[in-house]
A and B are shown apart, each in its own frame.
Chain A
Amino acid sequence: MAVGERRVAAEPRLGIRRESRSSWSRRGFLLVVLPLLAAVLTGVAVLAVSGNVLLPFQTVVTLEGKMASKRDFFEDEEVQRILMRHHIRVHITASGSREVAIRDISSYDFVFPSGQPAGDLITAERAKSNQYAKVHRPFVSPIVLATYREYARTLEDAGVAKAHRGTGPVADQPPYYVLDMAGFLRHIHDKRRWDDIGIERHGIANANRIVAQTPDVCGSNSAGTYLALVAFTWHGDGDEVPDTDQEADARGREIKHLLEQGLPAADVFRTYVSPEGKNIAPVVVAYEHQYLAYQLNYKARSKKLDEQRVLLYPSGQFVTQPQFIALNKDGDRLGELITHDPELRKRAMELGFRILDPTGQVAGDQLTRFLEERGVPAPATEGDDTRTAMPRLRYLERMISVVGDCPPADVLPGRP
């Protein structure tokens, strides 16, 4: 028994309705339903492609993370899309890596300091108070100096930089140079200015002292790592690193003048890639992945390389190892994903990181092959084989405090 028929009998007003319902023909029905159906199907198709089909039935977890330059990874749209398929959304708070390490992180699900020293600070602190901390090491990236062609050439003229061998079709515009760190620091020590070493021959006037800009050494891992590199190079005695507090303090005082740059700016790499970069951030300390991601992006947009911006690889390399530290189970799920999920690993490589294989070794030529496919010259990895030793955390911390005049981080005497 149709509901409608009974209504017809009950209320004359419904006659009108019946009339309207009579126009509710099969054709009319289809006219309404088909577009709706099409919309639903399209939607389903879209969701299927993006992997979000089951999304409405599963809750998306928003994870809070705090990190420095590794936010480039989580801010990438493709990474966000892949994570969404795993029902994870990530919300980032930007901060220097050392800053991450010395502040309260209890409200976060994970932190992602750019290097081991900051990571060690955190795991030590967590262990001390018996709190959850699980470390994942998905990829590494060397510390480099990003600069402009004229500056690299000027350093080349001064005998402290050399273009990388075998950079192929771009041999006259090499994107990579090896920087003789000891020679570079000698110029800084001698208070040379860019004008003094002949930058005018390359069409630039700059009376500023030679220096590589870093973010605040009190807060940033790249600055701290660069400091360790400077200390190691300047000391110049094989692989010696400080072993006592007094030695560390003395080293800090020895190199303070090599890192003088006035009030440091944040986010120096982003300033470097801006149109004003050549004026306001001509030489900055950065990670290789930042530069590679920039060039890949530039190439994709304009079909050519940015030949103005080049990298200096310091002799005596420091590979920095970002540490993903899960602070709870949810964070750990994310850590597992970025370390093991093939799609995320591939994407990390596309963002210029050197991904690690499960044994913790750099997964060799994958990045090289990928860069070559995209027409971006691959940085030669052979370079200078000087291994630069990182001082133990406690002593690095002391040097940072001396150089940056910053509040010391709490490192137990017994800790490495």
Chain B
Amino acid sequence: MRPRRRAISLIALCMAGLWLAAATACTPGGPEPVTLRVLASSELADMAPLLDDLRRDTGITLEMEHRGTVDASNELAAHEGRPRHDVAWLSSDRYYLLKVKANGGHGEKPLATNIMRSPVVLGVKRATADRLRQAAAGGRISWADAADAAADGSLRFGMADPRHTNSGLAALVGVATAAAGTGTALRPQDVSCERLHGFFAGHLLTGDASGKLADGYAARQDELNGLITYESELLALNSSGKLREPLEIVYPRDGMVLSDYPLLLLDPSKRAAYDRLVDWLRSGPVQKKIMERTLRRPIDPGVSRIDRLREPVGNALYFPDDQKVVDRLLADYGDPERDRAAQVIFVLDFSSSMRGERIAALRETIDGLAGGDDSPSGKFVRFYRGETLTVMRFGGRVLEERNITYEGQRDLDRLREVVASDDFAGSTAIWSSLDHAYRSVARDPRDRPERRISIVLMTDGENNAGMDVDAFVRGHARLPEEARRVRTYTIRYGEADTGELDRGARATGGRMVDAADRSLLSAFKEIRGCVH
């Protein structure tokens, strides 16, 4: 009978074992295999090596379809009905959220979980960094210092296309926010005046994905000396062996825009798999692996950072919450192929009342715009390489007319020489001189119809020669269409007539700025930003 008892004991034990298994098992059996269709930002292609681990550990296969973040966001925001993907994994969902808001979308936002972080910053060669530091206030480089160097041709950088990529858009918004200098998120009125032409004069390399941009930089590394992209991308490029000279990472003093790589659940029926995926990605060991492989910063505060990721990222700039702001920036600076040639015609009063302090102020103003103004705004709105500067000195008639295209320091010196002239006239023919400027615009061969031209007229007195403002306005209306599109901004100085200057400017679509109660330089800077 003993064997029988043994058998019973065994059966009992086995039952106990089964019961135990049932009691202790959290998930019976192995993880269920699932495939998730993912719409992912292009830069997340670098997660590929981790996807095998993911499949092994969780049974989840990610079918990644890559797209530029902005393109992916547009697609997601426009799509209605059943989503084509189960999950979206974007470098940032800011553009998507703005789009949804602008489309009047009031529905529930998809569940989103941030996975990691990387700031969009500036990488520059050592010598360039040293030069920038010397020019920077307190030795801490800002976007304004970068804009200044880009304008004078000493910073030549790559930046991805903001119409398609998150890194490009984050850089554009970051620089524009720094340029506006309000310390807060950009509002529509902050972007109505452009201040970024000088900065973009140094933008010589673009790409529709940040990875391609890095390759592009490697291919042209002798000609270029800077790259604006993710910190992770810069660190990876430095350790790739593709660079003869590594890029020093600059976290601009005025801040950066951070990307946080949210995972968005598009199809709520995939919630269980989404939870598993998020738990896995945010688990300590995986966060560590992500950091080591992709050089992005872990979202998990508990994971200790590798040395290269211990640098403070710099203050986060506020991201605008209005789609119109972003649209405006993209319209103005989005197209890397846009014609950047611009011409400003300065029509400057050289009547005898300008002698003395006034002419000194004007000369200082030109010096300031030629790179002498050290303030952040001055660094953004200064003259830049490739810009054509025309100076018309006038009295009772146009005394001198000079065309200077800024290619190097010598050109700025020639510009200074023109305003250094002590040839003053007895009378003031404001409107005839402005009319002269328009006629020369109309005469100009329009080989580049996209070229931006604007006129800045500065006077300190009343019109006492030549045509009157009415005659000018009538003449202006009869100009050829192209010439008529050129706007005039008038700067009122000294005893000049407010009403007339305002009327004349408005007839051309421009406006008047009063320099009576502030410095001439600040008046020039204000319209400089608005010049179109």
Interchain CB contact under 8 A, B23 and A407: no
Of the residues A4, A32, A205, A219, contact of B140 by C-beta under 8 Å:
A205
Confirm or deny: B457 has a beta carbon within 8 angstroms of a beta carbon on chain A: no
Contact of A206 among B6, B13, B260, B315 (CB under 8 A): B315
B3, A24: Cβ atoms under 8 Å?
yes
What is the chain B residue whose CB lies nearest that of A53? Answer: B23
Residues B315 and A279 in contact, CB atoms below 8 Å apart: yes
- Report the count of interface residues on A (CB-CB < 8 A): 52
Proximity string of chain A (312-346) to chain B, C-beta cutoff 8 Å, 1 when within and 0 when not: 00000000000000000000000000000000000
Q: Is B16 an interface residue (CB 8 A)?
A: yes
Binary per-residue interface labels of chain A (44-58) against chain B in the complex, 1 for a CB within 8 Å, 0 otherwise: 101100001101100
Cα distance, A43 to B233, chains bound together (Å): 50
Q: Mark B174-208, 1 if CB is under 8 A from A, else 0.
A: 00000001111110000000000000000000000
Q: Which B residues are in CB contact (< 8 Å) with A261?
A: 184-185, 318
Is A246 among interface residues, defined by CB-CB distance under 8 A? no
- Interchain CB contact under 8 A, A193 and B20: no
Shortest distance between the CB of A279 and any CB in chain B (Å):
5
Once the chains bind, are B3 and A37 in contact (CB under 8 Å)? no
Quote the shortest CB–CB distance from B432 to chain A (angstroms): 44
Closest residue of A by beta carbon distance from B24: A43
Contact A280 B316 (CB under 8 A): yes
Contact residues in B for A281 (Cβ distance below 8 Å): 316
Kindly state the separation between the CA atoms of A56 and B23 in the bound complex, as whole angstroms: 5
A300 at the interface (CB under 8 A from B): no
Q: Which residues of A (1-51) have their CB < 8 Å from a CB of B?
A: 2, 4, 21, 24, 26, 29, 32-33, 36-37, 39-40, 43-44, 46-47
Contact across chains for A266 and B112 when beta carbons are under 8 A apart? yes
Interface residues of B in 86-143 (CB under 8 A from A): 94, 97-98, 106, 108-109, 111-114, 117, 138, 140
B315 touches A262 (CB 8 A): no
Selected interface stretch from B40-48, B251-259, B350-358, B397-405? B251-259
Residues on A with C-beta less than 8 A from B317 are 208
- Complex: chain B residue closest to A37, CB-CB: B13
Residues of chain A contacted by B471 (CB below 8 angstroms): none
B9 CB–A CB distance under 8 Å: yes
Contact A273 B301 (CB under 8 A): yes
Complex alpha-carbon distance, A393 and B71, angstroms: 40
Nearest A residue to B297 via CB reads A276
In the complex, which residue of chain B has the Cβ closest to the Cβ of A42? B20
Say whether A407 contacts B20, CB under 8 Å.
no
- Min CB distance A404 to B, Å, is 9
Any B CB within 8 A of the CB of A103: yes
Return the contact of A99 from the options B98, B108, B138, B271 (Cβ within 8 A). B108
With A4-B3, A208-B184, A260-B185 in contact, is A275–B321 under 8 Å at CB? no
Please state if A274 and B301 are interface contacts (CB–CB under 8 Å): yes
Mark contacts of B48-60 with chain A using CB atoms, 8 A cut-off: 1 yes-contact digit, 0 otherwise. Answer: 0000000000000
What 0/1 pattern do residues 339 to 379 of B give for CB contact below 8 A with A?
A: 00000000000000000000000000000000000000000
Check B314 for interface membership: any CB of A closer than 8 A. Answer: yes
A127 at the interface (CB under 8 A from B): no
Contact A2 B315 (CB under 8 A): no
Given contacts A33-B9, A205-B140, A279-B316, contact A43 B108 (CB under 8 A): no
Is B153 interfacial (CB-CB < 8 Å)? no
B312 within 8 A of A: yes
The answer to whether the Cβ of A94 comes within 8 Å of any Cβ in the partner chain is: yes
User: Is B117 in contact with A40, judged by CB distance below 8 angstroms?
Assistant: no
Q: Which residue of A lies closest to B113 (CB)?
A: A94
Chain B residues closer than 8 Å to A263, beta-carbon distance: 94, 97-98, 185, 318-321
CB distance from B302 to the nearest CB of A (A): 9
Is B146 close to A, CB under 8 A?
no
Nearest-CB distance from B249 to chain A (Å)? Answer: 15
CB-based contact B313/A279 at 8 Å: yes
- Let me know if B313 and A40 touch, CB within 8 A: no
Cβ 8 A contact of B19, one of A24, A29, A33, A56: A56
Cβ of B299 < 8 Å from any Cβ of A?
yes
Among residues of A, the one whose C-beta sits closest to the C-beta of B112 is A266
Bound Cα distance A84, B436 (Å)? 87
If A21-B3, A40-B16 touch, does A274 touch B315 (CB 8 Å cutoff)? no
- Taking a contact as CB atoms under 8 Å apart, the answer to whether A44 and B108 are in contact is no
Pick the most buried of B117, B138, B301: most chain A CB atoms within 10 A of its CB.
B301
> Least Cβ distance of A174 to chain B in Å?
23
How would residues 485 to 502 of chain B score, 1 for a CB under 8 Å from any chain A CB and 0 otherwise? 000000000000000000
The 6 closest A-B pairs by CB, nearest first: A262-B185, A262-B318, A280-B316, A209-B183, A43-B20, A407-B106
Residues of B near any A CB (own CB < 8 A): 1-4, 6, 9-10, 13, 16-17, 19-20, 22-24, 94, 97-98, 106, 108-109, 111-114, 117, 138, 140, 181-186, 253-255, 258, 260, 271, 297, 299, 301, 305, 310, 312-321
Q: A32-B10, A211-B184, A275-B297 are in contact. List 9 more A-B contacts (CB 8 A).
A: A37-B13, A43-B20, A103-B108, A207-B183, A208-B255, A260-B185, A263-B94, A270-B301, A274-B117
